[in-house]
Amino acid sequence: MTAALASWLATGVSAIGPVGTLTVTNMNVSPDGFNRSIIAVNRQHPSPLITARKGDNFQLTVVNQLTDVTILRQTSVHTDIKKHWHGIFQQTTAWADGPDGVSQCPVAQFDKPFTYKFNAGREAGSFWYHSHFHTQYCDGLRGPLVIYDDKDPHKDRYDIDDETTVITLADWYHLPASTIGKGPAVTNATLINGKGRNPGGPQTELAIVNVRPNKRYRFRLIIKHSGLAYPMYYTINATCIRKHQPFVWKPNKHVGRWRSSSTSFGKTKLVQTMLGYLMGQHGTANRLISLSCDPNYVFSIDGHDLTVIEADGQSTQPLQVQNLTIFAGQRYSFVLKADQPPGNYWIRAVPNTGVSGLLNTSGSEGGGLNSAILRYIHRDVQPVDPTTSPTPNPTILQEENLRSLQNNLPPPVINPGDLDVVTLDPRFNLNPGSDFNFSINGITWESNVENPILLQLLNHVPPDQLVNQGFIRRIKRNDIIEIRLPAVPNSGGPHPFHLHGHAFWVIKSAGTNKTNFVNPVRRDVVNTGIGNDPNDSVILRFRADNPGPWFFHCHIEFHLLAGLAMVFIEDSDNIPKVVKPPGASRASVTLTGTYTAGRSPPECSEGGSADCHQSALPHAWTIQVQKAMET
């Protein structure tokens, strides 16, 4: 075992493979010296790294054992969760994508385990996973995910790329994120690989990244921005209904499913709940992953160059910098050569928002705030805080200078009239004393947890009759979609926008007036800039080749909560044909009858009779039951 791997294992966090179980519980931790209740995965903080090889099948079982209702607002779904596998396109498996109101209902508390099954296809690189419900991931429900490629085009550039070279950045709050609401958020600490310090707090242990002299490391930098039901949810009229949630039944209205522990049709189960349905010198490559809920970070390692080779799971032409800005949800891989005199060097991640007066504080001058330590493994190096200084006059990564690797496909040539242009105009109500309210094209996103868009589409609801119709843009199969995000002054930016189901070409980045139609970088999160300069407008393109409803939203979690989101419905006619949740078919049977309080509903049959007992159904009713067929 290498010293670096021993250091990783010593943190108590171990990686799991593409097949595994994620048990979600509450526990108390003090990563920056302040003790608080969090949401943990497998009783670990930070959450475990998930690893796979390119082409692997994922089978990840989620178990919800949350008990602390103070973590979230006390709503009817305060202990529910959902998982999003950020950057995974979910080709044909949109039911496993995760966002509430779009592809699934929440994973309910203390239900049977729910298993997400998907294949990442040709994807490889740095990704992450997180809750996509309310502000849960800000409270700890977030972790890195790496897919290794045996034929990585950059593999000759580095010697080491393993669990020890994943670096995660996360903002940390001493109060539950739900109490922060829609913002503005004030970060108490920056956590690097789950450890940090807060102003005025104790000198807690910082994360250590060990390197050996003259090795090349591929570091993966990930910024961590901030359903199951037994039978916690029923699907009535394509609507998710909580078991104990009041619900008025009306004759001739409710089309859908219900379930109780005794409900069965022999081999056919009557509704498995909502989610059961939708469901020279040597060097190292490093993966940098932003798990942030709000701030972006300027990342650097004193005295060392960073050669960027990947952005958001997409290989790039090598680009050497000393500093890079990473936004919520973004990921970078960079090669670092351990070619400096053996010693301790500050790793810095300076946030753009934080405790007043301490935004630019890191390293020795900040007492280790916003910092970790790069430590050379050498007999003369002692385990002490570094005394190094930032690189003077650093070269800073500019997104427009990133280029896709030459073997990546360039954006297609578009003939006039063949381009579907979508102009999205974000607007922001930031008036003091009022509730923060964000919108796109004048419409504020409000998640309908009880009636997800994908479920409606699978139940053949016409797209023009969907709930949340105002938040939706239909796009046709194989069209080239151009998204234009204009500069908006006083917008509370920069805003990192993430597209589910796709990577897009960044034709124009914020902060430049240049466009690139030859070899622009591809990624799945882009920032809009601060909005006070016309050059802060952004132009993106992607091909509509993945049927499903795909969320497009600001990845500042508090801005998403305030409504800064919309949905692309892609190739709607083919969604029921392509997206096939496991264990379900769409055979249906119509039941009619009357119900008197205190009596059981009538028996139902399908070529015979079987018990359909469900207690406490109020009122007279006529109901059509669409059954989930056991396979």
pLDDT tens readout for residues 82-96? 677 888 999 999 988
In a 10 Å sphere around its CB, with 0-12 CB exposed, 13-18 middle and 19+ buried, how is residue 86 labelled? buried
* Most confident option among 249-253, 293-297, 350-354, 500-504: 500-504
Question: Which phi and psi (to 5°) does residue 37 adopt?
Answer: -80, 140
Region 66-74 average pLDDT: 65
Pairing outcome for strands 57-64 and 36-41: unpaired
Say what the pLDDT of residue 394 is: 96
Query: Does residue 220 carry a pLDDT above 70?
Result: yes
Sorted by where each begins, the domain ranges of the chain are 3-150
Q: Helix, strand, coil: what percent of the chain each, to 5? A: 10, 35, 55
The confidence score (pLDDT) of residue 598 equals 37
The answer, yes or no, to whether residue 4 has pLDDT greater than 80, is no
In this structure, are residues 409 and 35 in contact, taking their beta carbons and an 8 Å threshold? no
Residue 259: pLDDT over 50 = no
Mean pLDDT of 475-489: 89
Higher-scoring residue by pLDDT: 564, 186 = 564
- Report how far apart, in Å, the C-alpha atoms of 200 and of each of 27, 177, 253, 356, 363 are: 24, 21, 60, 13, 15
Does the pLDDT of residue 120 top 70, yes or no?
A: yes
Quick one: pLDDT at residue 583?
A: 53
pLDDT at 381 over 80: yes
Quickly tell me which residue has 């950045």 as its tokens: 169
Q: Average pLDDT over the chain, rounded to whole?
A: 76
The pair phi, psi for residue 200, each rounded to 5°, is 80, -5
Calculate mean pLDDT across residues 150-177.
92
Task: Give the tens place of pLDDT for each residue, 462-471.
Answer: 888 887 656 8
Q: What is the pLDDT of residues 566-601, one digit of tens each?
A: 999 999 999 999 998 875 433 332 333 333 333 333
**Fold observed for domain 3-150:** Immunoglobulin-like (2.60.40)
Number of DSSP helices (H) and strands (E) in the chain, helices first: 5, 39
Of 311-315, 396-400, 494-498, where does mean pLDDT reach its minimum?
494-498
Element (H, E) at 49: none
Rounded to whole angstroms, the Cα distance separating 310 from 218 reads 10
Structure token pair of residue 41: 């995965």
Note the pLDDT of residue 593. Answer: 35
For the ranges 138-147, 348-357, 519-528, 621-630, the maximum mean pLDDT occurs at: 519-528
**pLDDT band of 486, cuts 50, 70, 90:** confident
Does residue 64 contact residue 46 with C-beta atoms inside 8 Å? no
Contact residues for 42 (Cβ-Cβ < 8 A; gap 6+): 16, 21, 22, 23, 48
